[in-house]
Amino acid sequence: MAVSVSVFLGFFLGLVFVGLVSSAKFDQLFQPSWANDHLVYEGELLKLKLDHYSGAGFSSKSRYMFGKVTIQIKLVEGDSAGTVTAFYMSSDGPNHNEFDFEFLGNTTGEPYTIQTNIYVNGVGNREQRLNLWFDPTKEFHSYSLFWNQRHVLFLVDDTPIRVHPNMENKGLPFPKDQPMGVYSSIWNADDWATQGGRVKTDWSHAPFIATYTGFEIDACEVPASVAATESAKNCSSSGVKRYWWDEPTLAELNVHQSHQLKWVKARHMTYDYCTDTARFPVMPLECVHHRH
């Protein structure tokens, strides 16, 4: 295990503990996973292309438990209706865990929508949607997933937009025992992505291109040969071994982050599964205990 200095804004500031060396080089951390001919390399930039024939995707070379993963993305410009660009972490198998960022395309001039979702033991249906407070097609912005044994945190430019806490004390499962890969892709989803599928992909605007840079993973790398139960143990602090993501200051949001999250929900959230009584006549149990 290598040693790195992790200096992040907000609650990541000033921590120096055991972790995994971050990298800005795509090919050190990732590899194409499908449609290699739709991945374009331009120096430090990687572009994923969607056209009539195919989308494209890439995946991490390793699996991880706990830590922070960040990718800087410039989303598809112009009329991107029907397209989805995704950045997510996922384990394997039918009872997998998964943390999703999905960027839903729009017609020109409309705001981009981010949909987040969380799967625990193969069960999802925890969608939230929000509009961004900036145009994500003009500049690169960072999108991050932070994960420890206390919560999963979704961040945009280090602003928290969603927190999923560990509520095992309420009898609810929490994703803490399956190592996860890191993935991103672009594909056509015009059956649902834009205005519920009412607006279809206009292929005259193809190819649709999402551009990436700044690939960073500061997390506990898990060899494929290690059992999941051992992974959780090996990636948790004990004795003299201390991981930065286990520090008490990262067990919950600080006051500033709590205010940021409230602002995001009040100003930018457009859908929350917890309030969708048509889908869930009985409020999901995690929503009863924690509105997130």
| Residues designated catalytic | 98, 102
Nearest to 71 by CA among 112, 26, 117: 26
Q: How far apart are the C-alpha atoms of 109 and 178, rounded to whole Å? A: 41
Distances (CA, A) of 79 to 61, 72, 89, 90, 95: 33, 21, 27, 29, 36
Q: How far apart are the C-alpha atoms of 184 and 193, rounded to whole Å? A: 17
Using DSSP's 3-state secondary structure scheme, residue 167 falls into coil
Q: How far apart are the C-alpha atoms of 202 and 222, rounded to whole Å? A: 42
Q: Which strands sit side by side in the sheet containing 63-74, from one edge to the other?
A: 39-42, 45-50, 208-222, 63-74, 141-147, 151-156, 159-165
Using DSSP's 3-state secondary structure scheme, residue 225 falls into coil
